Amino acid sequence: MTDATGAELLNSLLTPTDRLSVEEGELVVDGHKASELLAEFGSPLFVLSAGVFVDNLRRIRSAFSANWPEPVSVLYAIKTNNNLAVRALMSANGAGGDAFSEGELDATIRTGTDMSKVVINGSDKSDGVIRTAVRHGACINFDCAEDAERTSAIAAAEGVRARVLVRLRLTLDDADAGSEDYPAVEKLRNYLVRDQVGLSAESAAEIVPRVLKDPNLELIGYHFHQGRQSRELAHFQWWAKSLGRTVGRLADLTGFQPQVIDTGGGYPRQRDTEMLVGERMNPLTIEEYGAGICEGLIAGLTEGGVPIPELWIEPGRFISGNSGVLLATVGTVKSDQGSTWVNVDASINNLPRVDNRSFKYVLLPATRMDEQPTDRVNVVGALCTGAHFASDLAFPPTERGDAVAFLDAGMYAEVGQNQYNAVPRPATVMVLDGEPVVVKRRETLDDVFAAHQVPEGLKNHSLSAR
């Protein structure tokens, strides 16, 4: 059995919103050949597709709206890709925002986002981020009693009433209670113990009455974020039903009926780069996850006699993942002792989750897509470390100047980049209305050292021996 060509591999991995194709043996990204993009904008190069971002936003919104009887709002999780052009595109298409830091909140504000649909998360919020959120009308997710006290004081000083959600967490008791719905819940016990965010129902029951009585605070609902722990549908149905039951229990204890429930993010994608267990292609669609989550949450709320509130969701990776491709150029190709190494000018500086989260990117021979693989190669980056992008990869004959492409580089790539070995970070272009435009310029060596300072006289200073 022969290995698949790049074109055959791509065709087997395409998802409904991808804008990838092959023309004349070359990868085409949203209407533009890889080689032409590199020739015009330099290498390596992040290429984003505005159309894919918007298609993904609309798709996940529809997946939940179709199964939820009240309004559904999508709050884009900027942590996955914080390009200002991306955030502006999300704002223009009706997405609110999930921000964690003062920087993420600033980016969300400056790009015209509807601040009534923006939340600020974090287990240790600074006074600065709370103050900015209060001034601009963002919703603050309370993670502890101290959040309530500090936000109240800041809101009073600002002369406004702060909108807030109480962030909930599931506990081992919830896991035990839900084991019939989701027998594999036992695998999550360590996560439930170690995760620092959110409040148990018991702790929330102590805070909610205090918040309701505080004239500086307006409690509108609850927040929850389980994150990406599994792609099993039963897992999502379990936590959704458990969350609904918890809200019902809190209604009994406090009398509070939420106007909003925010279920956070972590929704799996179909081409699974980030949590590769079994087959790369996830057999489930976002429509199936949306239906399962809504069904479970409605069931849990109904059990507790809680009216169905507005639903907020905070997707990041689902929207940004396949919206970006990283293009790179082949340099030295070396063979020795039965192994071949293909060096490229990108590195784990640009895709750090290869190293710290074991992401498995699809790597394509962008300018040799129709050629049959004949070699087994190790693809490595331009750093002094030995980290591999891919090992023992079936690849066609490759030489200096060829282009390669890493799919699904729209998420957790640019935001996590560093400058190890003093390597400047690449440019980013976005294909907008059919044309590629620069949305982040390529760094220079001056940029790498821009924040450094050498004290006066240090160059001529010699420390005496002790």
> pLDDT by residue (tens digit) across 334-343?
999 999 999 9
Domain 122-224+226-313 CATH class label = alpha beta
Among 175-184, 281-290, 451-460, name the most confident range.
Answer: 281-290
Helix axis angle, 233-254 to 201-213, nearest 10°? 50
Backbone angles phi, psi at 34, to 5 degrees: -60, -45
Q: What is the dihedral of CA 131, 136, 141, 142, to 10 degrees?
A: 30
Q: What is the dihedral of CA 447, 448, 452, 457, to 10 degrees?
A: -100
Q: What is the pLDDT of residues 364-415, one digit of tens each?
A: 999 999 999 999 999 999 888 877 898 999 999 999 999 999 999 999 999 9
Instruction: Provide the pLDDT confidence category of residue 460 given band limits of 50, 70 and 90.
Output: confident
Q: What is the pLDDT of residues 160-170, one digit of tens each?
A: 999 999 999 88
Instruction: Provide the pLDDT confidence category of residue 462 given band limits of 50, 70 and 90.
Output: confident
pLDDT exceeds 80 at position 189: no
CA distances from 128 to 59, 131, 132, 154, 286 (A): 35, 5, 6, 10, 36
Count of other CB atoms within 10 angstroms of residue 228? 13
Average pLDDT estimate for 41-45: 98
Q: Looking at the annotation, which residues are catalytic?
A: 384
Instruction: Provide the pLDDT confidence category of residue 117 given band limits of 50, 70 and 90.
Output: very high
CATH label, 6-49+322-448, candidates 2.40.37.10, 2.170.150.20, 3.40.50.300, 2.60.120.1360: 2.40.37.10
Q: Where are the domains of the chain?
A: 6-49+322-448, 122-224+226-313
Percent of the chain exceeding pLDDT 90 equals 80
Q: What is the dihedral of CA 174, 175, 181, 182, to 10 degrees?
A: 150
**Pair 388, 25: CB distance under 8 Å:** no
Distance CA 238, CA 177 (A): 10
What local confidence, expressed as pLDDT, does residue 423 receive?
94
pLDDT exceeds 90 at position 360: no
